[in-house]
Structure 1
């Protein structure tokens, strides 16, 4: 049985990271979101083949997710995941890369720009966290997930504006991934109540965000019920060299609901 979600593996610091790799040229690192059952493959499978036409794409599973290590003796948070990205780049001898981050991954990409500006060229954030905001009902539901097919289908319905994407098949795939050994133990320790604390951990002050000088593209679905579209408007006001693309009739999964359009945008932005 083919498992496209399981790619290559590499030692990053004390842990092993599973990652997908496709294309050639300047490195582009894709950082997935934080929903249960997520992996680099689940998040990026529709757009990686297209975007790999303009760069060397790497998509790691973050610690605790997908098929990377799921340690139970660590403090999950911005610091741990940012260090994993640095260790990943060092292990693959990537000096500098463009970053594409989704949701929680948008915050981690922003963390790289703020903390390691010399390692980042261009920045793409999609439905991003990273700014201070009150936790939404949708995000609280995502982080509070308890494994069941019914609960997973409910989450996928929250993620999508177009309910045609909220299929039983997708729910089954994500549910199976959310019951992989060690996932729920790691996931339930990542975002404990009160979950606003985790939003705060993944956020930066306005002053920190204003230090970003990189070319930046922000992409958001107008009907996003997980990460408020207001985040995108805050970021465009704070980042000097930024552009903003809002998709109407689109929820949190721009890269799935508007896969072709999202890939075209990223290719245009990275190539310009």
Structure 2
């Protein structure tokens, strides 16, 4: 009994100690080092000058092929580290932007987020780098952006790769709408424990390791910043973009050879917790959504990654990278 009392007394301090391990980050991640040098492209968007951060890795054994990696909603370009290294080793030139509102890029006070705007910004980056043809790979929200980019600039996209993209179903037809202000208040409550709990339950099937920890800490580091409200506001605007701008109705218009890499354990569906129970059970079923999407996109191939959730390139790297490289070399 005495031991239990001591543990109960120490518990708040143990929790505080864990929180102290999380490195405080500013909202531009200036005190966080990315795995490769970061450059900035100046953009004129919506009557303001913004900076778009990006990494460009051109290996000595460059094979003349390029690939753009587009991050998801809860991440930034840094989480592509192992993917970049593997692709560069094979001779691919790799371009990894942080979209506006993410990572080291600008966090505007006001911005009308659209996938079209993101696509246009990405095209400006490619033009700046002198890249006329490339593969586009998008994960999660990046998959929605990759789809929009391919539809807008088909002449630029040699191949399209979608890794567990969100937006494979139209949530606004099944889930009650939440306004931007609601998302903003929700994002203001984010902290390390909430982020870890969400990722462990929704991404990794209750498992946790140092690699998962690294990305949770990066996501949580700026939640204590004095101007974190800017990050929260931009995040809220992007939730509204994701919810109201579906791309799945246009999959039939994609002409580029396409590879779908789908972790079949994934159950991601924004807002499904507010849907009626009978609807909620049907949402985010990637084991079925992957097959359905493959049928909708002409000239597409599906690679299923079993026992894997929303992040195959983090959770099951070999099963992600091997079919990707085979596809890129075809």
Q: TM-score range by the shorter chain?
A: 0.7 to 0.9
- Report the equivalent of 2:38: 8
- Report the equivalent of 1:20: 55
2:190 corresponds to 1:147: yes
Contact 1:102 1:127 in 2 (8 A): yes
Give, in angstroms, the shift of residue 179 of structure 1: 4.9
- The alignment's TM-score, normalised by the length of structure 2, stands at 0.71
Q: Sort the Cα spacing of 1:46 and 1:177 in 2 relative to 1 into closer, same or farther, 3 A.
A: farther
Deviates more, 1:144-153 or 1:4-13: 4-13
- Report the equivalent of 1:123: 160
2:86 corresponds to 1:50: yes
Give, in angstroms, the shift of residue 77 of structure 1: 2.4
2:306 corresponds to 1:248: yes
- Report the equivalent of 2:199: 156
Note the residue ranges of structure 2 that are not aligned, 5 or more in a row. 1-30, 45-49, 270-283
Secondary structure of 1:58's partner?
strand
Q: Distance in 1 between matches of 2:216 and 2:123?
A: 32
Q: Write out aligned runs for 1:72-83 (5 A).
A: 72-83=109-120
Q: Write out aligned runs for 1:173-192 (5 A).
A: 173-179=218-224, 184-191=229-236
Q: Sort the Cα spacing of 1:128 and 1:180 in 2 relative to 1 into closer, same or farther, 3 A.
A: farther
Secondary structure of 1:18's partner?
strand
Give, in angstroms, the shift of residue 210 of structure 1: 0.8
Deviations 1:111-153 (A, max 9, x none): 111111111110000011243332799xx9x995432111111
Size of the alignment, in residue pairs?
263
2:31 corresponds to 1:31: no
- Report the equivalent of 2:253: 211
Deviates more, 1:72-81 or 1:58-67: 72-81
Structure number with larger C-alpha Rg: 2
Give, in angstroms, the shift of residue 183 of structure 1: 5.5
Q: Sort the Cα spacing of 1:8 and 1:159 in 2 relative to 1 into closer, same or farther, 3 A.
A: same
Q: Distance in 2 between matches of 1:189 and 1:164?
A: 28
- Structure with bigger RCO (C-alpha 8 Å, 6+ apart): 1
Secondary structure of 1:163's partner?
coil
- Report the equivalent of 2:276: none
Secondary structure of 1:267's partner?
helix
Q: Distance in 2 between matches of 1:12 and 1:55?
A: 25
- Report the equivalent of 1:65: 102
Deviations 1:197-243 (A, max 9, x none): 63231x2253x221112110001111113252143223201111000
Partner of residue 41 from structure 1, selected from 52, 75, 78:
78
Deviates more, 1:160-169 or 1:114-123: 160-169
Contact 1:224 1:252 in 2 (8 A): yes
Contact 1:70 1:182 in 2 (8 A): no
Contact 1:149 1:171 in 2 (8 A): yes
2:297 corresponds to 1:239: yes
Q: Sort the Cα spacing of 1:190 and 1:171 in 2 relative to 1 into closer, same or farther, 3 A.
A: closer
